[in-house]
Amino acid sequence: MATYEVRCECGRTIPVEARLAGSRTSCFCGRTVPVPNLSQLRRAAGETAIPRTVVERIRLAIRAGELPDNRFCPFNGRPVDDTVRIRVECERVTVRQRGPSWWGQFFSHVVFGWLALFLPRDQGRDEFGHDIVVDVPLAISASARESLAAALGRKSLVDALRGTPLYRELLEEYPAADVWIIDDDPA
Ligand SMILES: [Zn+2]
């Protein structure tokens, strides 16, 4: 369990475990020292909330069982009773830790033209130098599986994913992402 510190009026710092957040502890000097709540302890320790990339947030939401969250099938509008997994292969990231390389900028200009000037420059610490591939679950109606088997174009998959806010955010960040179904076996 993480350990934090609180300071007593006498000047000593007292280590406290996170479970003591919001309660009290005692100091060697005999004083009772209130322990702030956890978010205050974390802020004081410099553990401020680090903004997460949309890819990280999607992975966390999947792990937490929060995705898929659509209740109606994006392909036929019926209530969902099945799930497909869709692979979203995002752009190869050319961003480096200290801003884009010369080659990355040149590449962005070739691909995006002047729009490259408006692309976000900092895309996160763990993304540079990797291909970003995210497998996302999408709830569907089992009755839509037949039309899934028939070759579904990228556009209809993208449209289907856009019904889920986090996936829409992902596709806005990586508009050129490749998208295809990787699991169309009945569960
Ligand atoms: Zn003290």
Tell me what pLDDT residue 24 has.
Answer: 94
pTM for the model stands at: 0.54
Ligand 1 centroid – CA 25 distance (Å)? 10
Ligand 1 centroid – CA 182 distance (Å)? 61
Q: Low-confidence residues of the chain, pLDDT below 50?
A: 95, 123-127, 186-187
Tell me what pLDDT residue 164 has.
Answer: 95
Ligand 1 centroid – CA 21 distance (Å)? 18
Tell me what pLDDT residue 187 has.
Answer: 44
Tell me what pLDDT residue 66 has.
Answer: 92
Ligand 1 centroid – CA 32 distance (Å)? 8
Query: How many CA atoms lie less than 13 Å away from 34 in the CB half-sphere?
Result: 4
Torsions phi, psi of 150, nearest 5? -65, 135
Tell me what pLDDT residue 34 has.
Answer: 94
Tell me what pLDDT residue 116 has.
Answer: 63
Ligand 1 centroid – CA 15 distance (Å)? 12
Sequence spans of domains, the chain: 3-44, 65-183
